[in-house]
Amino acid sequence: MRIGILTGGGDCPGLNAVIRAVVRKGLGEHGDEVVGFRDGWRGLLEDDAVPLDLASVRGILPRGGTVLGTSRTNPYGVDGGPERVLETLQRHRIDALVPIGGEDTLGVAARLGEAGVRVVGVPKTIDNDLNGTDYTFGFDTAVGVAMEAVDRLHTTGDSHHRTLVVEVMGRHAGWIALHAGMAGGATVILVPENPFDVDAVVEHCRHRFASGFSPIVVVSEGAAPKQGALTTSTGQLDAFGHVRLGGIGAALAALIEERTGREARAVVLGHLQRGGTPSQFDRVLATRFGLAAVDAVHDGQSGVMVALRGTDIVRVPLAEATAQLKLVPVERYAEAEVFFG
């Protein structure tokens, strides 16, 4: 068989582990040929392809980013885009396509699946907000980076008796903030799912100062207050219509400084959370996803995404996985709240 593969959306540690697994299993066990398309859907729109053999995937398992490159190109946002994608697939005689991505990339995959392309999706995002899978790879690495930052900020914050606000990624879902904040012992965790009460945040910070320690506030980039607004959008949109966020950390730090009368600083972790080598958990999960995608292709599946349920890799309909985001449930946030203040 000829299998096409691409990585779309924000990069994420573990993408190379998926590519390697698809190539190793496809070539090694089935005698498949694997074609990589560069920079996500752009590679299919513009016919930018590269054959992937065993030599091309040697040594990439621990490497962050993606050897295929990525972009947020949306073929459905381009005139004649879907037709160009189909032509490229035909030109390369692709029997099945394995797109690796989040809600946007896999949303395109679902539509192409409905249009007759054989697609088996692989879920990736550091945000862990894809429905249908317990975890996406990349999340564990991102949480590890954010947790280490929180650990380090505790000691400098305590030394200077100041509040430190840590802004982490998470546009609509607060999984990174929730896990990094819980693992790092944050004073308050603020997530997009739960608009926060400014007075309560300030009170938690005061309480922490009163205990002789300094507050750490972990805030998702998409979190917002219940009352009024703290400007957090840059106003720029990507090809899928998402607003580029930023600024909640600094706005919150200024507000906390003013209300507590103690100095506050903001740290934006940004793309540090996405870069670098994947954790062991993400390498293993990404590898298992890649192997399972090849199995699904050879079982004649289409319109499915491989997913983690418990410790098993299963297949779920792409339409179900992309219909809505997996948000932090109220009861998970309540667990974290026990430690606020």
Residue 39: exposed, middle, or buried by beta-carbon count in 10 A (0-12, 13-18, 19+)? buried
- Which amino acid, one-letter code, is at 192? P
Is residue 169 within the footprint of ligand F6P (CB under 6 A)? yes
Q: Which stretch binds ligand F6P (CB under 6 A): 164-172, 185-193, 261-269, 331-339?
A: 164-172
- Under rule CB under 6 A, residue 244 binds ligand F6P: yes
Q: Which of 4, 102, 107, 157 binds ligand F6P (CB under 6 A)?
A: 102
Q: Is 32 a catalytic residue?
A: no
Q: Which residue is nearest to ligand F6P (CB)?
A: 169
Cβ atoms of 122 and 293 within 8 Å: the answer is yes
Least distance between ligand F6P and beta carbon 244 (Å): 6
Under the binding rule (CB under 6 A), the answer on residue 274 touching ligand F6P is: yes
CB–CB of 275/126 below 8 Å?
Answer: no
Contact status: 206 vs ligand F6P (CB under 6 A) = no
102 closest CA partner among 301, 242, 258, 298: 242
Stretch that binds ligand F6P, among 34-42, 74-82, 165-173, 326-334 (CB under 6 A): 165-173
Comparing CB distances to ligand F6P, the nearer of 244 and 309 is: 244
When asked if residue 226 is in the footprint of ligand F6P (CB under 6 A), the reply is no
Nearer to ligand F6P, 10 or 144 (CB): 10
Complex with ligand F6P: residue 94 or 189, whichever CB lies closer = 189
Q: Is 163 an interacting residue with respect to ligand F6P (CB under 6 A)? A: no
Give the residue, chosen from 32, 33, 127, 282, that forms a contact with ligand F6P under the rule CB under 6 A. 127
Task: Report in angstroms how near the CB of residue 97 gets to ligand F6P at its nearest.
Answer: 21
The smaller minimum CB distance to ligand F6P, of residues 138 and 157, is found at: 138
Binding region for ligand F6P (CB under 6 A)? 10, 102, 125-127, 169-171, 221, 244-245, 274
- Provide the annotated active-site residues: 127
